[in-house]
Amino acid sequence: MDETYKIVYEKSSPFEEITDEDGDSCDDVHALSKWVSASFKELLQMKEFHVAAVNFTSYGASFVHIDKAGNPLTPLYNYLKKYPEALSKKFYNTYGGEIAFSMHTASPVLGSLNSGMQLYRLKHEKKAVFEEVEYSLHLPQYLGYLITGKAYSDLTSIGCHTGLWNFPQKSYHEWVFREGVIDKLAPIRSSDQADEIVVNGKKIKAGIGLHDSSAALIPYLRSFSDPFLLISTGTWSISLNPFNSQPLNVYELQNDCLSYMTYLGNPVKASRLFAGYEHEQQVKRLAAHFNTAENYYTTVSYNADIASGLSALPMEGTGNITVFPTRNLGEFRDYETAYHQLISDIVDRQVFSSQLVLKDTDVKRIFVDGGFGKNPVYMKMLAKAFPAIEVYAASVAQATSLGAALAIHPHWNSGPIPSDIISFKLSFAD
Residue 10 falls within a domain, yes or no?
Answer: no
Does 40 score more than 90 pLDDT? yes
For every residue of 69-116, DSSP letters joined together read TS-B-S-B--TTSPPPHHHHHHHHHHTT-HHHHHHHHT----GGGSHH
Indicate if 50 and 171 belong to the same structural domain: yes
Residue 8 falls within a domain, yes or no?
Answer: no
Last residue of a domain, one of 208, 237, 267: 208
Task: Tell which residue, 93, 385, 365, 102, has the closest CA to residue 256.
Answer: 102
Contact 400, 10 (CB under 8 A): no
Residue 5 falls within a domain, yes or no?
Answer: no
Does 429 score more than 80 pLDDT? no
Residue 3 falls within a domain, yes or no?
Answer: no
Residue 4 falls within a domain, yes or no?
Answer: no
Indicate if 239 and 204 belong to the same structural domain: no
Indicate if 298 and 173 belong to the same structural domain: no
In tens, the pLDDT along 278-328 reads: 999 999 999 999 999 999 999 999 999 999 999 989 888 778 999 999 999
Residue 328 falls within a domain, yes or no?
Answer: yes
Q: What pLDDT does 329 receive?
A: 97
Indicate if 171 and 229 belong to the same structural domain: no
Last residue of a domain, one of 193, 208, 223: 208
Q: What pLDDT does 427 receive?
A: 87
Indicate if 23 and 151 belong to the same structural domain: yes
Indicate if 31 and 92 belong to the same structural domain: yes
Q: What is d(CA 98, CA 83) in angstroms, rounded to the nearest whole number? A: 15
Residue 120 falls within a domain, yes or no?
Answer: yes
Indicate if 273 and 308 belong to the same structural domain: yes
In tens, the pLDDT along 196-224 reads: 999 888 899 999 999 988 998 999 999 99
User: What is the CATH classification number for the domain harbouring 122?
Assistant: 3.30.420.40
Residue 40 falls within a domain, yes or no?
Answer: yes
Indicate if 184 and 217 belong to the same structural domain: no
Q: What is d(CA 143, CA 56) in angstroms, rounded to the nearest whole number? A: 7
In the chain, how many domains are there?
A: 2
Q: Region 321-336: what's the mean pLDDT? A: 96
User: What is the pLDDT of the chain when averaged over all its residues?
Assistant: 94
Higher-pLDDT residue of 158 and 200 is 158
Indicate if 68 and 134 belong to the same structural domain: yes
State which residues form the domain around 255.
Answer: 211-430
Last residue of a domain, one of 175, 193, 208: 208
For residue 151, what are the CA distances in angstroms to 66, 69, 141, 194?
Answer: 10, 12, 7, 13
